[in-house]
Structure 1
Amino acid sequence: MNKEKQYIILAATGTILLTLIIGILMMTTHQTTDNDEATTATSSSTQTKKDSELDKVALPQLESKVTTNESEIKMTTTAGEITLKLFNQYAPLAVENFLTHTKSGYYNNTSFHRVIAGFMIQGGDPKGNGTGGTSIWHDRNKSIDSGHGFKNEISQSLYNIRGALTMANAGPDTNGSQFFINQNPKKPTQDFNKNKYPSKIVDAYQKGGNPSLDGSYTVFGQVIKGMNVVDKIASAKVKSGGEGSTPVKPIKITQITILKQAN
């Protein structure tokens, strides 16, 4: 009987130990599964998702038609004519500045002082060397331009695609009179987060432009005719000194004509 009792006790003890081992294994497996699920959930939540509203914004640069809330100008240069439309609705300060300077003849006989093939052409400096030019509010309205330029106007509707007319600046909110036209004719080589762009703008960038400038410079117009002239200016032979981007033979804006001004 003593032996039988010993067997019974041993069997019972073994059963208890086995039950404990199985329980521990099940708890460990459950915790591992929970951890894996938590990791997956965290990973999913950190992924950048595209804002569905981006594909609903207006994209006026992709239309050549000039609407009632847009202005139109013709830029006559020594290399040919360039027609652009201006976006009064999205960049009112930049457009007012440009049109007011245009009416006063401020840009007449100024040169494209900086041209970089595969990037952009820059002008709008009465000094012709990239150091000059002021806004129409300089010394007139300190609430708009305290002396360093007026503020950037960044819009989800406007981008530095090929042909975009953009304000040049020396840092945030230092816009004066200088501007540039994005000329790059090739698909940008740098990576950019497509989730931050409307799908149609992503497609437009496949044809050229400079997405690295988005968010730092005010886009206020778009070439609708004469990109061949922009390309011609960009391909001009430049001086080797300085920035190495000033045309050897000056290329000038002889006149800018306002064809239509939005109300």
Structure 2
Amino acid sequence: MTDGPANWPAQATFRALGSTRLNTTFIKTGIDADMFTRLAAILVVLVTFSAVGAQEPAASADPLASLKAELTVEREVYYPGQPLNVRFTLFNPTDEAIDVPLPPGTDVGDAVTLPLRLITGTSAEPSLWLAYEDERAIPFGTSSLETDDGKTGALRLEAHTAVGRALDLAALQRGLRYSGEYRLTWQPLHAHVPEVTLDLRIESRKDVVMVTDFGNMTFTLMYDEAPRNVENFLELVRDRFYDRKTFHRIIPGFILQGGSSDGTNKGLRPDGKLVPGEFHDAPFEVGTLAMARKPSDPDSASCQFFISLARNPELDTDYTVIGQTRDEESVRTLQKLAELPTNKKGEPLRPVRIRVMTLVDTTAGGPTRQMNVNER
């Protein structure tokens, strides 16, 4: 029997079920086409009902399991002695208010800030763990924070709202003063809420060494005055971005500029990231290291930097200073670079490359002021 208009409805139904061959078999046995169509339609309804029913999630018996925890930090790298601020947030994404039970003795405060006990837990039931390098995670110390007065209660978290709190973990945990990798794990409400983790790095402060064909220049960085710009610079150094880059602009008595991704004044970081200005009162003297930016945009620092070749008061507080030459060797190298021949635009006649940039531990004493290189 060939396919034709008379048996088309039965074929169409079974094609939807992926069984055209079976349809032909039924038709060959003499089953009425209309009856076959009705049977197929019933099967389609049953299959559809089963599929829809299987997709319906079972209602959670524990409303606390719907809460979402989040950990956020200001930066990825911290330094010994620096505040280590972490923000803890508990979010209710549902359409119903949820009453969050509080451990005994919890100070609810103004109910706008996440209670401390919901962050740390208690000695008996900790909620916060800290792991150093590959060591086993241990509960975050909470004994000094506990004042159990036997009171109990609940914090109502309305639908689609969040409550949070920022803590300086370095002030609460002395172990965070050591350099290395740390992992913070938070699981509030004793496993009712899925745990979240946060990786942190504490790093001893570093100086930067620029190795050139004309000598080395070492810079002490200004972590406290320009933290974002210093971290941006350090990130590029760690990623070996500056290796083999050039100094593309030399203006004697003014500046030496380099670090461009394409060797021109327009080069940016590969990811296009820009860093806001952090202007402070460090003066522009010989050997002052600063981030270049667009003249029209104070928040456009990227990868390019420049080094002052003289006292340039007109630059003070207008560009973000991130460092200063550390020693006499650095100034001698800077003087050699400042004397290289250029064209009328200040472009070196031959490529002047940074062989490599490396990080070394900061030495005591810090940077020293130097005389104008043109006076030496």
Which bracket does the TM-score occupy, shorter chain normalised? 0.5 to 0.7
Aligned to 2:322: 220
SS in 2 for 1:113: strand
Aligned to 1:154: 279
The whole-number CA distance in structure 2 between the counterparts of 1:89 and 1:69 is: 13
Match of 1:257 among 358, 363, 370: 358
The whole-number CA distance in structure 2 between the counterparts of 1:169 and 1:72 is: 23
SS in 2 for 1:115: strand
Amino acid at match of 2:234: L
Going by fraction, where is strand more abundant, 1 or 2? 2
Amino acid at match of 2:305: F
Identity of aligned residues (%): 32
SS in 2 for 1:229: helix
Amino acid at match of 1:73: V
Q: Does residue 246 of the first structure (1) align with residue 347 of the second (2)?
A: yes
Superposed displacement of residue 134, structure 1? 2.4
Describe the shift of the 1:84–1:94 C-alpha distance in structure 2 as closer, same or farther (beyond 3 A).
Answer: same
The whole-number CA distance in structure 2 between the counterparts of 1:176 and 1:261 is: 24
Q: Does residue 107 of the first structure (1) align with residue 233 of the second (2)?
A: no
Describe the shift of the 1:86–1:135 C-alpha distance in structure 2 as closer, same or farther (beyond 3 A).
Answer: farther
Q: Does residue 168 of the first structure (1) align with residue 292 of the second (2)?
A: yes
Larger Rg computed on CA atoms: 2
1:2-29 Cα offsets, whole Å, 9 max, x none, are xxxxxxxxxxxxxxxxxxxxxxxxxxxx
The whole-number CA distance in structure 1 between the counterparts of 2:234 and 2:226 is: 12
8 Å Cα contact 2:220/2:362 also seen in 1: no
Describe the shift of the 1:90–1:137 C-alpha distance in structure 2 as closer, same or farther (beyond 3 A).
Answer: farther
SS in 1 for 2:268: coil
8 Å Cα contact 2:288/2:307 also seen in 1: yes
8 Å Cα contact 1:70/1:89 also seen in 2: no
> Within 5 A, what are the aligned runs for 1:45-194?
70-134=205-269, 138=273, 149-156=274-281, 158-171=282-295, 172-184=298-310
Q: Which runs of 5+ in 1 are unaligned?
A: 1-67, 139-148, 185-208
1:201-243 Cα offsets, whole Å, 9 max, x none, are xxxxxxxx11100121000100012111111111110023xxx
Runs of 4+ with >6 A deviation? none
- Work out which structure has the larger RCO, using CA pairs closer than 8 Å and 6 or more positions apart in sequence: 1
1:137-186 Cα offsets, whole Å, 9 max, x none, are 72xxxxxxxxxx22111123x221221101111131110110001012xx
Going by fraction, where is helix more abundant, 1 or 2? 1
8 Å Cα contact 1:97/1:135 also seen in 2: no
8 Å Cα contact 2:209/2:218 also seen in 1: yes
SS in 1 for 2:290: strand
Q: CA RMSD in A?
A: 2.0
The whole-number CA distance in structure 2 between the counterparts of 1:136 and 1:74 is: 24
Aligned to 1:235: 339
8 Å Cα contact 1:125/1:131 also seen in 2: yes
Describe the shift of the 1:112–1:210 C-alpha distance in structure 2 as closer, same or farther (beyond 3 A).
Answer: same
Amino acid at match of 2:292: A
The whole-number CA distance in structure 2 between the counterparts of 1:169 and 1:179 is: 8
